[in-house]
Amino acid sequence: MRPESRPRRAGDVTGAAARTWDRRPVSRGDQRRDALLRALDELLHESDLESITIADITARAGVTRSGFYFYFANKASCMAALGADVYVASIAAAAHLADGSLPAARRIERMVYDLTASVRRHHYIYRAMLDARRHSGAIREMWDGYLDSFVAPVARYIDGERAAGHAPAGPHSRTLAVLLLGLSDRVLEGLGPAETPDVRRRVDALATIWLRSIYGTPENAHPRGSSPTGDA
CB 94: neighbour CB atoms within 10 A? 19
Q: Is the pLDDT of residue 189 over 60?
A: yes
Is the distance from CB of 79 to CB of 132 less than 8 angstroms? yes
Q: What is the rounded CA–CA span in Å between residue 96 and residue 101? A: 10
- For residue 42, CA distances in Å to 38, 71, 108 come to 6, 18, 33
Q: What is the pLDDT of residue 41?
A: 92
The least confident of 35-44, 84-93, 180-189 is: 84-93
Q: What is the pLDDT of residue 208?
A: 92
**Nearest residue to 48 (alpha-carbon basis) of 145, 128, 163, 146:** 128
Residue 112 has pLDDT above 90, yes or no: yes
Q: How many CB atoms lie within 10 A of CB 208?
A: 18
Within 10 Å of residue 103's Cβ, how many Cβ atoms?
Answer: 11
For the ranges 22-26, 130-134, 178-182, which has the lowest average pLDDT? Answer: 22-26
Determine the Cα angle at 63 with ends 58 and 69, to 5°: 75
What is the arithmetic mean of pLDDT over 60-81? 92
Please determine, for residue 42, whether its predicted confidence score (pLDDT) is greater than 60. yes
pLDDT digits (tens, 9 = 90+) for 198-230: 988 999 999 999 999 999 865 544 444 444 444
Beta strand residue intervals within 60-151, DSSP E: none
Buried b (16+ CB within 10 A) or exposed e, 146-177: beeebbeebbebbeebbeeeebeeeeebeebb
Instruction: Note the pLDDT tens digit of each residue in 1-30.
Output: 333 333 333 333 333 333 332 333 445 558
For the full predicted model, state whether its pTM sits above 0.95: no
Q: Alpha-carbon distance 65 to 55, whole Å? A: 7
φ and ψ at residue 33, rounded to 5 degrees: -65, -45
Write phi, then psi, for 101 (nearest 5 degrees): -80, -10
